[in-house]
Amino acid sequence: DAKTTQPNSMESNEEEPVHLPCNHSTISGTDYIHWYRQLPSQGPEYVIHGLTSNVNNRMASLAIAEDRKSSTLILHRATLRDAAVYYCILRDRFYNQGGKLIFGQGTELSVKP
């Protein structure tokens, strides 16, 4: 599985946008970029995923660089509930290993009121 690099921690103020970066310089053409987050004392939850184009959903936006070697998860207005560890994960679209996720260390996001 290709590797991702994320900052260990980031801080944000409530109701401000947050940009969480992820570097994946060894990404292959068939890798999807997935983001999950883990709130305190809970299991991870899906946030968003994409392949080449930018993606939006009700939780966040995913901006993917043109060369796909980096991506940014955007939370448009951070709330206290968004304080969590955010994981950027690459999953090979065709790799026949059943779809497991390999988690890295992630970015711990803290949100200040």
Give the closest residue to 2 by CA, choosing from 34, 35, 27: 27
Between 43 and 113, name the residue whose CB sits nearer to another protein.
43
Residues 6+ apart with CB under 8 A from 97: none
Shortest distance (Å) from residue 82 CB to another protein = 18
Strand-pair partners of 21: 72
Shortest distance (Å) from residue 48 CB to another protein = 10
Shortest distance (Å) from residue 15 CB to another protein = 27
Between 14 and 104, name the residue whose CB sits nearer to another protein.
104
Give CA–CA dist 44/54, Å, rounded: 23
Between 14 and 108, name the residue whose CB sits nearer to another protein.
108
Between 16 and 95, name the residue whose CB sits nearer to another protein.
95
For the chain, the residue count is 113
Binding site for another protein (CB under 8 A): 32, 36, 38, 42-46, 49, 87, 91-95, 97-106
Strand-pair partners of 49: 34
